[in-house]
A and B are shown apart, each in its own frame.
Chain A
Amino acid sequence: DVKVTQSSRYLVKRTGEKVFLECVQDMDHENMFWYRQDPGLGLRLIYFSYDVKMKEKGDIPEGYSVSREKKERFSLILESASTNQTSMYLCASSLSGASTFGSGTRLTVV
Chain B
Amino acid sequence: RKEVEQDPGPFNVPEGATVAFNCTYSNSASQSFFWYRQDCRKEPKLLMSVYSSGNEDGRFTAQLNRASQYISLLIRDSKLSDSATYLCAVNLHNTGKLIFGQGTTLQVKP
Closest A residue, CB atoms, query B34: A98
In Å, the complex CA distance between A1 and B103 comes to: 25
Bound complex: CA A33 to CA B95 (Å): 12
Q: Give the residues in chain A near B91, CB-CB below 8 Å.
A: 96-97
Q: Cβ of B102 < 8 Å from any Cβ of A? A: yes
- Kindly state the separation between the CA atoms of A94 and B95 in the bound complex, as whole angstroms: 9
Q: Contacts A90-B43, A101-B44, A103-B43: A43 and B87 contacting too (C-beta < 8 A)?
A: yes
A96 touches B94 (CB 8 A): yes
Interface contact A103-B87, CB-CB below 8 Å: no
A-B contact pairs, 20 of them (CB 8 A): A33-B97, A42-B100, A42-B101, A42-B103, A43-B44, A43-B100, A94-B96, A96-B91, A96-B96, A97-B49, A97-B94, A98-B32, A99-B89, A100-B46, A101-B43, A103-B42, A103-B43, A104-B42, A104-B43, A106-B41
Binding site for B on A (CB under 8 A): 30-31, 33, 40-43, 45, 48, 50, 90, 92, 94-104, 106
Interface residues on B, range: 20 to 34
Given the complex of chains A and B, what is the CA–CA distance between A51 and B91 in angstroms? Answer: 18
| Contact code string B28-56 (vs A, CB < 8 Å = 1, else 0) | 00001010000001111110010000000
Task: Give the CA-CA distance A91 to B103 in the complex, in Å.
Answer: 18
How distant is B73 from chain A, measured CB to nearest CB, in Å? 15
- In the complex, the answer to whether A41 meets B95 with C-beta atoms within 8 Å is no
- Residues in chain B near residue A31, CB distance under 8 A: 95-97
